[in-house]
Amino acid sequence: MTAHWKYYRGVQVEASSKIVSENSPTEASKLELSQLKLPKSWDDPPPLDDKLAKFILKVLSRFLYQMASQEDNNPHIQAGPIGREHSIHNINSQATWSPVIYDLVSEIFKNAGRVIFYISASNWDVVFTRIKNRIAFLAATDDEWPDTSELKLLECSDLNSKRLSMVLQG
């Protein structure tokens, strides 16, 4: 997906440089100056089919659940290498997984997060709908320990100020 995104950006750059070469020298210099500015962030990639994006999110939510359940079940494991080292050497740790399994799940979560990042950039409406539905469910439930694993979508998503404000307002 990252390769596709880079390709898409390359096509956009080629198209804009073609426009520069086809315009008059005055217009071309203005366009060249505007292209010298660094973008605040990458442009969003072209959207995937909504059904495909929903399916990918459904599959990846299982990996989010695995990581969240491990973090919830083991208070000694915290995000980052410091927390992991602490949990490995803690004799009183009640870890349900060995350090090797935890490292594997962490690596899977990291790579799943990259895919979620891409999907949130290309199909924000699909990701936002899923987050909004989960928040609405959590607000309506009386369960003392509800499943909050899908909120990890926020951790992995391509959030900008507009998208974050949509989540906070929704």
CA–CA dist 3, 60 (Å, integer) = 20
Specify the pLDDT at position 72.
67
For the beta carbon of residue 69, count every other beta carbon within 10 angstroms.
15
Integer angstrom CA distances of residue 50 from 30, 45, 144: 38, 14, 33
Specify the pLDDT at position 101.
84
Specify the pLDDT at position 90.
37
- pLDDT band of residue 15 (cuts 50, 70, 90) is low
Helix ranges (DSSP H) in 23-160 = 25-36, 50-73, 81-89, 99-122, 124-140, 152-156
Residues 6+ away with beta carbon under 8 Å from 50:
123, 125, 126
Specify the pLDDT at position 56.
94
Residues 102, 95 contacting (CB under 8 angstroms): yes
| DSSP at 149 | G
- Find the mean pLDDT for residues 47-75: 84
Q: In the predicted model, is pLDDT for residue 10 greater than 80?
A: no
Higher pLDDT, 51 or 152: 51
Q: Give the start-to-end residue ranges of the domains of the chain.
A: 2-36, 50-169
CA angle 66, 164, 110 (to 5 degrees): 30
Q: In the predicted model, is pLDDT for residue 33 greater than 80?
A: no
Q: What percent of the chain has pLDDT over 70?
A: 66
